[in-house]
């Protein structure tokens, strides 16, 4: 580990080569190099010139500055990803698949987490717009339509993943919450349950409203429902309120796995055994659900595919000017039942 004698606080950092350096070295102008860089290869350029430029670039290990490029092109090869809360059990797969798809297409991901707060969400969106992201993936956020208008007005494309809005204001990829909920309840019924309850998430969130609706369609309007925040603690409290009565339900359908895990905790709190005393079905199929000791029967939200497809849709709009203005598309993916052992016939 060598040290220079100079004792300066600001060491000389190796200056990055610029397009000008490449041009000089190749004996052409910046413009020509720029053409080489952009108008892809193979078009209207003397083979010898192209070769000299190629060589110069390689020798200098030159890479165009995304900043400068972004400034002059007003596009940054960047995609913004806004999630409600990175901490949630539910996102890892979704985020990972978006990240993978985006990078495969040559885009860099800029991450923002709103903490499920609509104001912070707008801040983040604003900041991304200023940074000139080319598109935004909104994952399970509370996006009011204004947020979306804000972006659209600036020509930034958007896609919603995993949470739809009451109106179809942008491309959206979700799982079929209504059908999934019905499947869940039917599963409980087929096991012999007749008294079934539901722990619902915030009804302002459309998928949660849909799940509740699906529940009611199958279990009837008078079946017991407790609504809470979609969190571990929310599910725990709601489940407790549902179970701590004279005639508790023998099976409960939770609007999310996160809440269902809270439900498991509530059962432990009350000394109830799952599935002996109460059967539980969740929604999402988070990874931890497959652990022995949890073995959560659930509805698969297919996060990986939702993320992939959302990214596809976004890229399509971004890349294809013709598609950019087209009407929003709604993709509803099937929600499949994953049977484990947290739901069984009532004793």
Partner DNA sequence: CTGTTAGCGCTTTCAA
Partner DNA sequence: TTGAAAGCGCTAACAG
Residues that bind DNA (CB under 7 A): 15-16, 18-20, 27-32, 34-35, 37-38, 44-46, 48-50, 62-65, 67-69, 71-74
Q: Does 20 bind a copy of itself (CB under 8 A)?
A: no
Find which of a copy of itself, DNA, none residue 320 binds, CB within 5 to 8 Å per kind. Answer: none
Q: Minimum Å distance from CB 240 to a copy of itself?
A: 13
Nearer to a copy of itself, 54 or 126 (CB): 126
Q: Are residues 189 and 218 in contact, defined by beta-carbon separation less than 8 angstroms?
A: yes
Q: Does 111 bind a copy of itself (CB under 8 A)?
A: yes
Q: Does 228 bind a copy of itself (CB under 8 A)?
A: no
Q: Does 40 bind a copy of itself (CB under 8 A)?
A: no
CA–CA separation, 139 and 155 (whole Å)? 20
Residue choice 27, 92, 192, 220 for contact with a copy of itself (CB under 8 A): 92
Find which of a copy of itself, DNA, none residue 301 binds, CB within 5 to 8 Å per kind. Answer: none
Residue choice 20, 39, 87, 194 for contact with a copy of itself (CB under 8 A): 87
Residue choice 154, 194, 220, 276 for contact with a copy of itself (CB under 8 A): 154
CA–CA separation, 73 and 106 (whole Å)? 16
Q: Does 319 bind a copy of itself (CB under 8 A)?
A: no
Find which of DNA, a copy of itself, none residue 140 binds, CB within 5 to 8 Å per kind. Answer: none
Find which of DNA, a copy of itself, none residue 35 binds, CB within 5 to 8 Å per kind. Answer: DNA
Neighbours of 107 (CB within 10 A): 21
Cα–Cα distance list, 26 to 20, 29, 34, 55, 343 (Å): 10, 8, 12, 8, 71
Q: Minimum Å distance from CB 54 to DNA?
A: 12
CA dihedral 62, 69, 65, 38 (to 10 degrees): -20
Find which of DNA, a copy of itself, none residue 30 binds, CB within 5 to 8 Å per kind. Answer: DNA
What is the binding site for a copy of itself (CB under 8 A)?
9-11, 13-14, 16, 63, 65-68, 70-71, 76, 81, 85-89, 92-93, 95-96, 99, 108-113, 126-127, 130-132, 153-155, 261, 264-265, 267-268, 287-288, 291-294, 321-322, 324-325
């Amino acid at each position: 580990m060598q040290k220079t004698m100079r004792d300066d606080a600001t060491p000389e950092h190796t200056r990055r080569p610029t397009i000008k350096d490449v041009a000089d070295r190749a004996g052409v102008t910046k413009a020509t190099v720029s053409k080489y860089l952009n108008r892809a290869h193979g078009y209207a350029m003397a083979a010898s010139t192209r070769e000299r430029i190629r060589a110069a670039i390689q020798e200098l290990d030159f890479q165009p500055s995304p900043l400068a490029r972004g400034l002059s092109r007003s596009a940054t090869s960047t995609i913004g990803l806004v999630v409600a809360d990175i901490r949630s059990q539910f996102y890892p797969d979704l985020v990972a698949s978006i990240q993978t798809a985006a990078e495969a297409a040559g885009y860099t991901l800029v991450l923002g987490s709103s903490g499920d707060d609509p104001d912070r969400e707008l801040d983040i969106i604003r900041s991304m717009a200023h940074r000139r992201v080319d598109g935004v993936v909104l994952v399970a956020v509370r996006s009011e339509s204004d947020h979306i208008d804000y972006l659209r007005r600036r020509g930034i494309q958007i896609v919603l993943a995993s949470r739809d809005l009451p109106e179809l204001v942008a491309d959206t990829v979700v799982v079929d919450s209504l059908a999934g909920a019905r499947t869940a309840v039917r599963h409980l019924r087929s096991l012999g349950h007749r008294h079934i309850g539901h722990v619902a998430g915030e009804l302002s969130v459309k998928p949660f409203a849909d799940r509740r609706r699906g529940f009611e369609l199958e279990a009837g309007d008078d079946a017991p429902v407790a609504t809470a925040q979609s969190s571990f603690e929310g599910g725990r409290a709601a489940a407790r309120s549902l179970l701590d009565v004279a005639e508790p339900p023998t099976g409960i359908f939770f609007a999310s796995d996160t809440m269902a895990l809270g439900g498991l905790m509530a059962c432990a709190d009350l000394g109830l055994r799952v599935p002996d005393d109460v059967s539980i079905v969740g929604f999402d199929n988070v990874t931890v659900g497959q652990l022995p000791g949890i073995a959560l029967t659930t509805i698969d939200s297919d996060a990986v595919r939702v993320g992939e497809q959302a990214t596809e849709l976004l890229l399509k709009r971004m890349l294809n000017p013709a598609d950019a203005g087209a009407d929003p598309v709604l993709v509803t993916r099937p929600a499949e039942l994953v049977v484990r052992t947290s739901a069984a016939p009532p004793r």
